[in-house]
Structure 1
Amino acid sequence: MAGFGATLTLGTLAVVASDISVSQGDPPPRLAIAAEAPQPDGQGSFLVRFTVTNAAPATAAQVTVEGVLSEGERVLETSRAVLDYVPRGSSARGGLWFRQDPAGRLTLRATGYAEP
């Protein structure tokens, strides 16, 4: 009976150690952002809807997307949105509002995430 207990304990420790080494070696999320054309919102602003796709096997939480409207080197306007989750191998949608028409002058990027 003592042999069974030792085997069970060693097996449990092996599973825990395996989980720890896998989680530490997981690749980070691979996030790509695709924007739709800006649309007037009827209230004097422009809405840019976007889709964030995560091609990695890791889920990203609290993904911050930043849109920067610029003219040359000058930043005219910045807008940010936070997506609760972008699951692994999946996508999530959001939108950013701007006071000026961002057509042709907008850069979108993910600026951060949390590991759930």
Structure 2
Amino acid sequence: MIRLWQPRIRRQAHREVRDQQHNLWVHFRGWFGFNAAAGSSDDGRIRSLSQPLHHPYPARLLEARHHGASEQELRSIVADGVGESYFRVSPGPDGLHAVRLTEIDYIEFSY
């Protein structure tokens, strides 16, 4: 992967996104959807989406990334954030994830 910014500049930009509660845009192509019955319009399928991650998801994602979270943990944070923005659902009270994001062809973030 090509890194466009120097590490110090990137950390500063991430700090601004986190501290000032800015949105972070995610652009991806991957299997995304609810754990729904087959044939449902919300059933998971390959989707190409560009969605904003609203507060608190950018901060959670950047903190997890900087603390060495696994790909699965990062993917869950993105899925929850996009699910809230796209489907208007939040993770359950027990932290159960309503949507999943797998089989990612590409993923890109912008802020």
Normalising by structure 2, we get a TM-score of 0.29
Larger RCO (CA within 8 A; separation ≥ 6):
2
Kindly indicate which of the two structures has a greater share of residues assigned to helix. Answer: 2
Higher Cα Rg, which structure: 1
